[in-house]
Amino acid sequence: MIAIVDYDMGNVASVANMLKRIGSPPPVLTRDPDVLRRAEKVILPGVGAFDRGMQNLADFGLVDALNEAALERRVPVLGICLGMQLMTRSSEEGRRPGLGWIDGETRRFRFSGEAGLKVPHMGWNYVRPSRENPLIAGGARRRFYFVHGYYVTCDDSQDTIGTATYGFEFACAVNHDNVYGVQFHPEKSHRFGMALLEGFVGL
């Protein structure tokens, strides 16, 4: 069973719809810790503020179940957008600690007026694979849809599996053991997003 965490932080239905399009086993949208404890794969999507996301996970009693899935049962977990940021230790956006599954921090884009770059970074951008991985396979660049004002920095460069450029090169896809995260939205990225989700389902 693939569980999509529904914690009031984004349109989880679009992720479920994309999984159905690729022929995945029907996913379960849930905020029930017991369902997460039975899941064989977990997707943590999200759009919005870091502290609100962590607060909602705590309010729904999901943090322990998520830690059990990721750190004890070691099932494949995929964080999308805010979901990826919540996997880090902390964010410049808030004060609450993150889940800490990825050794890294979430930082805000800061550009001078002369740079001519708006925050949030919004629209299509190319992703370059950093190393071999099942989610962004092959050497060719792939295009994904981004909407974010914050980005993840990894302590260990080996945890970065894909980068994009917006003013500078930043990690937009990460992987540490069974934990994966992408800053972009595969559910809005057409064929490249479908291929990425197929890779995750196939883990």
Active site residue 92: no
Question: Which entry of 148, 187, 190, 198 is annotated as an active-site residue?
Answer: 187
Active site residue 81: yes
Measured CA distances, 38 to 34, 53, 66, 69, 75 (Å) = 7, 22, 11, 9, 10
Q: What are the CA-CA distances from residue 164 to residues 109, 126, 128, 148 (Å)?
A: 13, 6, 6, 13
Token pair, residue 55, equals 């607060």
187 annotated active-site = yes
What sign does the dihedral 80-82-86-92 (CA atoms) show?
positive
* Catalytic entry in 81, 105, 148, 176: 81
The single residue of 114, 185, 190, 198 carrying the catalytic annotation is 185
Q: Which residues are catalytic?
A: 81, 185, 187
